[in-house]
Amino acid sequence: MRAGTCNDSLRRHEVGRERMFSVDIEFFLSGVIFGLGVGVLLGYCLPHRLPRREEKQQEIDRLVEQFQELFQQIDRDKEIESGYYSNVRYP
């Protein structure tokens, strides 16, 4: 009787293990399907909402030109001031 109980327990353990394995596979596959769906959705929506690289580069180039003009104007103003003061004669 004891040997039969051991075999029954072993069978139940094997069946339980198979059932757990099938549940693990189901969770894994549902996670993969869900992840792919979210990835496709984000891949479709996000690029349309984010600024494109070319637009960012154009904005950066425009700002660089503005700063260069500003620094050139500052240099011209310094040259004018230094030239003005060097031509002034004090008695």
Q: Based on the fold, state whether residues 42 and 71 are members of the same structural domain.
A: no
Q: What are the strands, taking DSSP E only, across 1-91?
A: none
> 67 and 84, same structural domain?
yes
- Residue whose pair of structure tokens reads 């394995």 in the numeric block: 21
Closest alpha carbon to 35 in 47, 27, 23: 27
pLDDT per residue as tens digits for the range 68-88 = 999 999 888 888 777 655 555
| 62 and 88 together in one domain | yes
Let me know whether 44 and 57 are in one domain.
Answer: no
**Region 20-27: what's the mean pLDDT?**
80
Q: Are residues 4 and 42 in the same domain?
A: yes
**Same domain flag for 38 and 59:** no
Q: Specify whether 89 is located in the same domain as 66.
A: yes
- C-alpha distances (whole Å) from 84 to each of 4, 73, 81, 89 are 113, 16, 5, 10
Residue 57, CA atoms < 13 Å, CB-side half-sphere? 3
Considering the domain architecture, whether residues 70 and 88 belong to the same structural domain is answered as yes
Query: Which tokens go with 32?
Result: 């993969």
Range of the domain at 16: 1-50
79 and 38 within one domain: no
Are 35 and 1 within one domain?
yes
pLDDT single digits (tens) 38-53 = 999 988 887 777 777 7
Backbone angles phi, psi at 40, to 5 degrees: -65, -45
The total of structural domains in the chain comes to 2
